């Protein structure tokens, strides 16, 4: 059984109730169509199960297969430096169908980032290293494709819809 | 299936229409063999896409990875181009599946290789092997653990 390595820490992007009984970690790629499909389901899970859920996102960009995957992860991390990781995360998935190199600045403006700072941060090595750390964590945790989910630290064999079903059954 | 400690059977397979790969030429380097059922099938493609992202990890451990299936060189070539794969895919094509059989990972019923991973050490001995359920992408954590173990020696 594959387990999450390293465990969730204060470097992670965390959404939801800190003391929730169920922690879901997604390893995702902003250009991966399956992750795009999973996005609204994850939103639904968060809405339906509310306080019972804590949601963490780690980057797993397949940079060779998806040319904008890594730049998109950079955009999310640069937004995080201005406290708006999740706003950028959502905007990236909601605009996945028109992902291109010019989209990032546009989204940065839409969600109200300081554009100059965003562009400066996007070029930083520290952000690149951070995304590589996430990828490394995925490899070590047995991620075999995107999206991959972990529930309370253990790999979940299934997609977002299976996850929804499982949560529904376990809370009934 | 060949297990840890066995000598890895030598082979000579085409990587491209005019390039052959001999296992014994890779003595002194760690080698990863990823047998998989077929080009283009969904799970395999994800699996190869994953390894494609990990080439810098493998080189850090002084390891070369090869994908192996019974597809022909031309099929591999098209698949490689389409998925932008940057590592060799070997054609276990004629006699069909001979290398897969030598490693004990040939599925007679469907006529394809099983989904199996081998890590071979610098002396040509198998250091780790793993047979994955057919429809399950085995990921890469097992490979990295095995390479790490070899590095400690």
Cβ atoms B52, B84 nearer than 8 A:
yes
The three-class DSSP label of residue A98 is helix
- Contact list, A133 vs chain B (CB under 8 Å): none
Among B69, B76, B66, CA closest to B107: B69
Instruction: Kindly tell me the sign of the dihedral angle through the C-alpha atoms of A62, A63, A64, A67.
Output: positive
High-pLDDT (> 90) share of chain A, %? 92
Residue-wise pLDDT for A44-72, tens only, equals 999 999 999 999 999 999 998 899 999 99
Distance from CA of A138 to the nearest CA of B (A): 9
Task: Label residue A79 by pLDDT band (50, 70, 90).
Answer: very high
Contact in structure between A155 and A141 (CB atoms under 8 Å): yes
Where in chain B are the domains? 27-152
Q: What pLDDT score was predicted for residue B42?
A: 75
Handedness of CA B153, B51, A138, A163 (dihedral sign): negative
Task: Give, for A169, the enclosing helix (H) or strand (E).
Answer: helix A160-171
HSE, side-chain direction, 13 A CA sphere, residue A91: 21
Q: How far is B151 from chain A (nearest CA, A)?
A: 17
Task: List B residues 79-98 in contact with A (Cβ-Cβ < 8 A).
Answer: 83-86
Q: Which ipTM did the prediction report?
A: 0.81
Kindly identify which residue of chain A lies nearest to residue B148, measuring between CA atoms.
A140
Q: Please indicate whether, in this complex, the C-beta atoms of B49 and A62 are within 8 angstroms of each other.
A: yes
For the stretch B87-105, pLDDT in tens is 999 999 999 999 999 999 9
B6-61 residue pLDDT tens: 999 999 999 999 999 999 999 999 999 999 999 998 776 688 999 999 999 999 99
Chain B interface test: which of A63, A145, A156 (most B C-beta within 10 Å): A145
What is the β-pairing status of strands A13-16 and A53-59? antiparallel
- Is A139 within 8 Å of B86 when comparing Cβ atoms? no
Nearest to B72 by CA among B93, B87, B89, B88: B93
For residue A39, the model assigns a pLDDT of: 97
Domains assigned to chain A: 13-171 (3.40.30.10)
Terminal CA-CA length for chain B: 25
pTM, to two decimals = 0.89
Residues of A in contact with B138 (CB under 8 A): 144
Task: Look at the block and give the residue holding tokens 């990890």.
Answer: B57
Structure tokens at B7: 């000598």
Q: How many angstroms away from the CA of B74 is the closest CA of chain A? A: 21
CATH of B27-152, one of 3.40.50.261, 1.25.40.420, 3.40.50.150, 3.40.30.10: 3.40.30.10
CA A141 to chain centre: 16
CB contact under 8 A, B84 and A135: no
DSSP state of B8: P
């Amino acid at each position: 059984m594959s387990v999450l390595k390293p465990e969730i820490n204060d470097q992670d992007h965390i959404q939801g109730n800190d003391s929730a009984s169920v922690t879901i970690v997604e390893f995702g790629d902003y250009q991966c169509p399956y992750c795009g499909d999973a996005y609204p389901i994850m939103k639904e899970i968060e809405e339906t199960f509310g306080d019972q859920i804590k949601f963490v996102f780690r980057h797993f960009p397949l940079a060779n297969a998806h040319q904008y995957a890594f730049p998109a992860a950079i955009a999310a991390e640069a937004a995080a430096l201005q406290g708006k990781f999740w706003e950028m995360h959502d905007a990236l998935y909601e605009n996945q169908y028109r992902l291109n190199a010019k989209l990032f600045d546009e989204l940065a403006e839409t969600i109200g980032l300081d554009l100059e700072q965003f562009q400066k941060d996007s070029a930083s090595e520290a952000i690149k290293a951070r995304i590589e750390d996430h990828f490394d964590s995925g490899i070590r945790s047995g991620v075999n494709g995107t999206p991959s989910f972990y529930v309370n630290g253990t790999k979940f064999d299934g997609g977002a819809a299976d996850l929804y079903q499982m949560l529904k059954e376990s809370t009934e | 299936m060949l297990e840890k400690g066995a000598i890895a059977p030598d082979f000579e397979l085409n990587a491209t229409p005019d390039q052959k790969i001999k296992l014994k030429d890779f003595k002194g380097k760690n080698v990863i063999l990823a047998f998989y059922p077929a080009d283009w099938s969904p799970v395999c493609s994800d699996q190869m896409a994953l390894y494609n992202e990990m080439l810098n990890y493998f080189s850090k451990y002084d390891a070369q990875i090869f994908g192996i299936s019974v597809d022909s060189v031309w099929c591999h070539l098209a698949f490689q181009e389409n998925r932008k794969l940057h590592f060799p895919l070997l054609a276990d094509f004629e006699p069909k599946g001979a290398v897969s059989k030598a490693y004990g990972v040939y599925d007679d019923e469907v006529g394809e290789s099983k989904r199996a991973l081998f890590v071979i050490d610098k002396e040509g001995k198998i250091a780790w092997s793993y047979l994955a359920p057919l429809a399950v992408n085995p990921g890469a954590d097992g490979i990295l653990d095995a390479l790490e173990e070899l590095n400690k020696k």
